[in-house]
Amino acid sequence: MRAAPSQEEVRRQNLGALLRYVHVHGATSRAELTTSLGLNRSTIGALTAELTAAGLVSERAPRETGRAGRPSLVVRPESARVYAYACSIEVDTLRAARVGLGGVVLDRRELVRTPGLPAEESVPVLAGFVKEMHQTVPEGSVYVGAGVAVCGMMRGDHGAVHVHPPQGWVDGSLGPALATDLDSNRPVLVNRAADVSALAEHTRGAAAGLENVIYLHHDVGVDAGIIVGGRRLTGHGGYGGEVGHMVVNRGGHPCGCGSHGCWETEIGEHALLQAAGRDGATGPGAARAVVEAAAYGDATAQTAVRQVGDWLGFGVANLVNIFNPDVVIFGGPLRDIYLAAATRVRSRINAVALPAIRDHVRLRTPQLGEEAALIGAAELAFGQLLADPLDAAA
Amino acid sequence: MRAAPSQEEVRRQNLGALLRYVHVHGATSRAELTTSLGLNRSTIGALTAELTAAGLVSERAPRETGRAGRPSLVVRPESARVYAYACSIEVDTLRAARVGLGGVVLDRRELVRTPGLPAEESVPVLAGFVKEMHQTVPEGSVYVGAGVAVCGMMRGDHGAVHVHPPQGWVDGSLGPALATDLDSNRPVLVNRAADVSALAEHTRGAAAGLENVIYLHHDVGVDAGIIVGGRRLTGHGGYGGEVGHMVVNRGGHPCGCGSHGCWETEIGEHALLQAAGRDGATGPGAARAVVEAAAYGDATAQTAVRQVGDWLGFGVANLVNIFNPDVVIFGGPLRDIYLAAATRVRSRINAVALPAIRDHVRLRTPQLGEEAALIGAAELAFGQLLADPLDAAA
């Protein structure tokens, strides 16, 4: 029931729309911008001039087209100059990168992380990475903010972070800590890895251009970044997407959450290792080893992969009935399991999901691979700039 | 990535925002409109003048307030003059109403319907109701469109209707048929009863002011109208919300959809009647009779209600984990089962849903009762008017 924007808001919204277009699509001619944004040529010219003056885009003549007439100028994002920091706290890795407008990774650092390390102890490491990268930033560059992807479960964009067991429920405050370490008042936005990975794939990956997306993620548990009608499903308190705790096997294995037969007890790494008779093994490498053993003909491993693939398809079928999505993306270790058991997953979906719904759903693996969370964290930071380019770049 | 609206679009958007406000909240002072819509007094004055000239609202001085100073004029919707037709095709009833702006039922008709009657055969009956009501419409009234709620499953807002088994999959085309019968080119929007009931409760019922809503509905099957971040979840093809086909009991009863153990096989009327040893009984009255027998101490009926309530809570817990909703509303026959087994439902949610999520969720019954679908169908029709008041009222 909000009233319409004022003229000044309209201008900022148009600046944001143009900047977002080149951020997502890269160098774009003025002619294409005119068509795609539905604005007239003089407006596109004026907006481009403002964004150029702010140092956010640059214009140049295109290469010779061979066509008659004056060629349309090409607008490109100032990727080398305008940047965000992106951090990702994963189960076994800490990553940080300097990412230029347009999603270009300009610099990066990573460190193998002791699993179970409390989230707060990751903060000084990541801040150190950022300081290191910061020393080589060319003069005249524009820092727009930072984004952090966190494995586990968390609440809110700025505030308290609850990291999932087995790391303990930590009520840390990553955002403010990083802001202090970066010595900047630019925003530091923190979100779940599942959500930022979904954002990344939706912006420039396997879900680009699709409105209804389920990105399945597996780190300490199984959850999902869900996009409904082009917008992120957050729910009341930011906890939406806890699909790993959908009970699929009533009376099944006990789950860390206190319930039984949660989806993550059937499709998680632990389930795969247990089914393969490798209870003692740990880490993402261990799960991958089972999938590889299956590929090389190990019968026990093959049975384990089929069993987990079966439950994977079963839970996806439920989500497909509930959401009628355009695409389901299998992220993290679920990627390998999906690829090894794709026929099983699809056949389970065909058995359980309604025909009108299942026919349209695409099953995909992430296009951005293990970088998805990092790229998504940068998108979080760029989100502020794209919402109001002149203010955020000031 | 759409560009911002033009000045003309801004004006229409503001007209829509003001009209929507009085449509939802009833008579409202200019002072409150200024505050709530965040527009200045002169803009509110100009918008009100335009809507008054179009005959959509009227203004009058408020009753004596006893306060000093000039009292703020009160703007009210022209409920007696501006109206939509609403129709609802339910399993056992056909309803039609003339509904005034502001959600006031001005006239109504209903007929007990033979269950299993194909959807197309309902069209002439409803059209007849509408023609009858049309004869008594005061001169100078403004018809803005019609909305139709359909039990079962359907696709798209205008087009093909697939009615669920047991009525057979009917590819009828209700929208155009009604448009012809009404002899008007105003839009006729058709949607699932679950979705329009959710819309009605969200606009002026148990979910008013809440952004994340699951409205559970039970007619020929169980489905849900789901609102995520204030917007309806439709999914790729408009099939989103088929929660009745979430499998909760793998290897359970066969379902009409071809799968086994779907939620609707455990919480549907058939399940309740079967558990109560009343397989032969049919109709919504039969299910209510079981709930009443349980209330009067019938042990078999009590066991049946507990069993169905248990599965009801179990499935809701899954949805709560997935959506982190503000509210879950139990509609249709699920209302009685929920009320009879509320403790059971809540205890199941407490056992299965994550603490951070379950703590906030409210469990409610519909405020609009069995009128929800009809009121929601009218809201579908008013949606067009509210999006662009002057065009739709022209």
The rounded percent of chain B whose pLDDT value lies above 70 is 86
Residue B225 and residue B350 in one domain: yes
Residues A332 and A377 in one domain: no
Tens-digit pLDDT profile for residues B213-236? 999 998 878 999 999 999 999 999
Chain B CB contacts of A233 below 8 Å: 228-229, 323
| pLDDT surpasses 60 at B259 | yes
State the pLDDT at residue A29.
Answer: 94
d(CA A56, CA A58): 7
- Asked if A250 and A319 sit in the same domain, the reply is yes
Which residue of B lies nearest to A355 if distances are taken between CA atoms?
B257
Is the same domain home to B231 and B333? yes
B272 domain residue, yes or no: yes
> Does residue A294 belong to any structural domain of this protein?
yes
Q: Tally the domains of chain B.
A: 3
pLDDT score recorded for residue B163: 47
Instruction: Tell me: do A161 and A287 sit in the same domain.
Output: no
pLDDT for residue B64 is more than 70: no
* Higher-scoring residue by pLDDT: A91, A216: A216
A96-142: pLDDT as tens digits: 999 999 999 999 999 987 766 666 677 788 888 988 998 899 998 99
CATH number at residue B104: 3.30.420.40
A76 domain residue, yes or no: no
User: Could you tell me the residue range of the domain that residue B218 belongs to?
Assistant: 208-366
Q: What is the DSSP string of A245-281?
A: GSBSSTT-SB-TTS-BSBHHHHHSHHHHHHHTT-TT-
Say whether both B254 and B290 belong to one domain: yes
* Low-confidence winner among A155-169, A301-315, B137-151, B348-362 (lowest mean pLDDT): A155-169
Task: Indicate whether B202 belongs to any domain.
Answer: no
**Chain A hits for B231, Cβ within 8 Å:** 228-229, 231
- Residue B219's pLDDT is 81
Check whether A264 has a pLDDT greater than 50: yes
**Is residue B213, in this structure, part of any structural domain at all?**
yes
Average pLDDT over residues A40-52: 94
Same domain for A214 and A361?
Answer: yes
Mean pLDDT estimate for chain A: 87
**Which residue in B376, B294, B361 sits closest to B329, CA to CA?**
B361
Q: State the pLDDT at residue A89.
A: 86
DSSP code of A71?
P
- Same-domain status, A164 and A283: no
Residues 6+ apart with CB under 8 A from B73: B29, B30, B48, B59, B60, B61, B62
* Interface contact flag, B324 A356, Cβ < 8 Å: no
Q: What is each CA distance from B55 to B13, B92, B133, B308, B345, in whole angstroms?
A: 18, 38, 21, 51, 48
pLDDT at A157 over 70: no
Give yes or no: residues A190 and A219 share one domain: no
Instruction: Look at residue A156 and tell me whether its pLDDT is greater than 50.
Output: no
- Minimum mean pLDDT range among A349-353, B86-90, B121-125, B252-256: B121-125
- Which of the residue ranges A41-45, A157-161, A369-373, B153-157 has the most confident prediction, judged by mean pLDDT? A41-45
Distance, CA of B228 to CA of B78 (rounded, Å): 31
Region B307-333: what's the mean pLDDT? 95
Closest CA in chain B for residue A251: B249
Chain A, 313 to 342: residues with Cβ < 8 Å from chain B are 314, 317-319, 321-326
Q: Is residue B1 part of a domain?
A: no
Identify the domain boundary among A33, A64, A95: A64
In a domain, A72, yes or no: no
Q: Do B12 and B64 belong together in one domain? A: yes
Mean pLDDT value of segment B98-103: 96
For residue range B202-211, list pLDDT tens digits in order.
Answer: 999 999 999 9
Each residue of B170-199: pLDDT tens digit? 345 556 666 676 667 788 888 889 999 999
Chain B residue with minimum CA distance to A224: B322
Q: Is residue B332 part of a domain?
A: yes
Q: What are phi and psi of A343, to 5 degrees?
A: -65, -40
Res B194: pLDDT? 93
Whether the CB of B245 is below 8 Å from some CB of chain A: the reply is: yes
Provide the pLDDT for residue A174.
59
Let me know whether A179 and A327 are in one domain. Answer: no
% of chain A surpassing 90 pLDDT:
60
Q: pLDDT tens digit string along A339-355?
A: 999 999 999 999 999 88
Q: Are B59 and B129 contained in the same domain?
A: no
pLDDT band at B250 (very low <50, low <70, confident <90, very high): confident
